[in-house]
A and B are shown apart, each in its own frame.
Chain A
């Protein structure tokens, strides 16, 4: 029951996706009334499918309530999905080991997560060295070895072990605590790290330090990242591919340059246009979108973006748009991108 000292071996080769997510769905019932009957359902994640390739950084962007954090928790299996499957390097997660599956415990050894709130995600009563050594000990590493490893990893994230190892979380700054969280995630030598808004609570000068660190660690340990953020500039900086979510669905996905230079979905276009310009001479006068994102309790029929979309037509209310291929792995769920969909502008966007 001892953990391999070296990083986990690659099994399927570079062509096989590290994580394959198929039709993931999570609805939260809202209970009310005298007998606690289900009165409504929050459709937090509604049929999300994507693949995370080996060695890449996949960025997930979207506004609050779009389901990006629920997706992260489903990927970590902190939440049980209603339906859908996860396949990690060819092995079904949570399926019978005898039939080529992978146990949850083994899966969580290879997939680790870093959260936004660096203070809430550390045990305030444990010195950070013990927090980092905790998971390896659970997985059967002897105490002394786990501590030694914790100190090595602390050094790797830029915190001198002799100064910091015995400190408690409240004795550290926000940026230092986030380094500890990253160190803890790396303590099990994972292959995939889920980063849920890891720099959103940090000041700009500290954010840059942590982003540089993440880039270095990825190189050094051969990691794969899923990077979730609402900050479009940060996602553009760190990601190889980007996935845009709106109200529990994937609206567009593709290589970072394609998404940022040639966004196909009207929502992606509006999201990119909403970034404040750093140049006061280029101030905009009209907001690209009006209104707030609708409530995921009763999402609009058909295309969920149609209530805010300037191009919406009758077909958008009738049918849910299918993923249209734009070339080079760039896909968009919009009737305008799909030739023959019935939208008057259909097919003009196709590459």
Chain B
């Protein structure tokens, strides 16, 4: 589109390292009333330019994992583990470093653009502010970049929309404006927390295709949180399925969609209504997810699993990898092959 948005070439030293490396990340919310073990030891790797979908139901810890990556959690959250983004230790950053890191290296887009954008500033101002803050350029240069960005996210009559307030835009345009704010400083990593869930079907597909195009054009790594298998199928390279604060399965999207290894994603796939299922009975997963008031010590899916056996209740299943690039935490999955 323009040379402003071309990415600098990835230097040799960072190319070998993954963009994101999360190890044994855990998040516990402690309040006076109760304790919730939202995330219980998550390992995530993301290569530069890769799209990872974190798939899970509400309460599975997928959004909390993302917020931990950006250190956006409230003070009463106890976070453990290590998080590295582009070789930098996020957990060791102080407040000033974090402010440069957020919006500069990592940007995030949210489900509700109306609450994520500031209602009293124009779209142009909000984008320019980010650019001015991170790159120290003038206000005029910031506005020029804002116009380029609005064109990049395919907002029609971009020049006029610079002066628009968020409430003057439709849902789809607002979501595009939020993507423009996130891309303002060419982040290496984009975190997307259900950005299309609130959109209509015909607009959702437009935003998904836009995100995929921008990701390819800018070479960003993307972590995309969703509960919708169809959305994952449309955008992901790899999928990580979360359940009760654990990644229970991870692998390339094609293989995962064809034949999941773990019984939970298998059940999820069976419970999702596909075209052409009329008259058939839907398979369901009985029961409901665990409450997470105590951290799970054995397989958290065992109470709902049709294939459970006594051994499942003894310990947390170790990750097993029956083929390269795939992982599942289930004792029924064949062990690692040499």
| 14 additional contacts (CB under 8 A) given A275-B230, A276-B233 | A205-B267, A205-B271, A207-B273, A208-B272, A208-B282, A211-B273, A211-B282, A215-B281, A234-B273, A236-B278, A237-B277, A271-B202, A280-B253, A292-B173
Q: A206-B288, A212-B284, A256-B278 are contacts. A63–B202 as well, Cβ < 8 Å?
A: yes
Is A6 on the interface with B (CB-CB < 8 A)? no
A285 to B235, CA, bound (A): 11
Max chain A Cβ within 10 angstroms of own Cβ: one of B156, B171, B234, B273 = B273
Is A318 on the interface with B (CB-CB < 8 A)? no
Q: Which residue of chain B has its CB nearest to the CB of A287?
A: B206
Across the interface, which residues of B come within 8 angstroms of A173, CB to CB? 288
Is B27 on the interface with A (CB-CB < 8 A)? no
Q: List 27 A-B contacts (CB under 8 A).
A: A64-B171, A203-B57, A205-B57, A205-B267, A206-B288, A209-B286, A212-B282, A233-B273, A233-B275, A234-B273, A236-B278, A260-B275, A270-B202, A274-B205, A276-B204, A276-B208, A276-B231, A276-B234, A279-B233, A279-B254, A280-B234, A284-B209, A287-B209, A289-B206, A291-B156, A292-B171, A292-B200
- Do A205 and B285 have beta carbons less than 8 Å apart? yes
Identify B201's interface contact among A175, A204, A232, A278, CB under 8 A. A232
A256 to B126, CA, bound (A): 46
Is B229 on the interface with A (CB-CB < 8 A)? yes
Is A293 on the interface with B (CB-CB < 8 A)? yes
Across the interface, which residues of A come within 8 angstroms of B156, CB to CB? 291
Number of B residues, CB within 8 Å of A: 44
Q: Which residue of chain A has its CB nearest to the CB of B172?
A: A292
Q: A237-B277, A290-B206 are contacts. A280–B254 as well, Cβ < 8 Å?
A: yes
Q: A204-B268, A212-B282, A237-B278 are contacts. A289–B202 as well, Cβ < 8 Å?
A: yes
A290 to B204, CA, bound (A): 11
Across the interface, which residues of B come within 8 angstroms of A204, CB to CB? 57, 227, 229, 268, 271-272
Across the interface, which residues of B come within 8 angstroms of A175, CB to CB? 288
- Do B274 and A233 have beta carbons less than 8 Å apart? yes
Number of A residues, CB within 8 Å of B: 44
Instruction: State which residues 206-235 of A face B: CB under 8 Å.
Output: 206-209, 211-212, 215, 230-234
Contact with B along A247-258 (1 / 0, CB 8 A): 000000000100
A321 to B209, CA, bound (A): 32
Q: Could you tell me which B residues sit within 8 Å of A by CB distance?
A: 57-58, 156, 170-173, 200-206, 208-209, 227-231, 233-234, 236, 253-254, 257, 267-268, 270-275, 277-278, 281-286, 288
Q: A204-B227, A208-B282, A212-B282 are contacts. A275–B201 as well, Cβ < 8 Å?
A: yes
Identify A208's interface contact among B58, B173, B203, B273, CB under 8 A. B273
- Do A291 and B284 have beta carbons less than 8 Å apart? no
Q: Which residue of chain B has its CB nearest to the CB of A276?
A: B230
- Do B230 and A208 have beta carbons less than 8 Å apart? no
- Do A280 and B230 have beta carbons less than 8 Å apart? no
Across the interface, which residues of A come within 8 angstroms of B273, CB to CB? 207-208, 211, 231, 233-234, 236-237
- Do A287 and B227 have beta carbons less than 8 Å apart? no
Across the interface, which residues of B come within 8 angstroms of A230, CB to CB? 200-201
Min CB–CB distance A140 → chain B (angstroms):
37
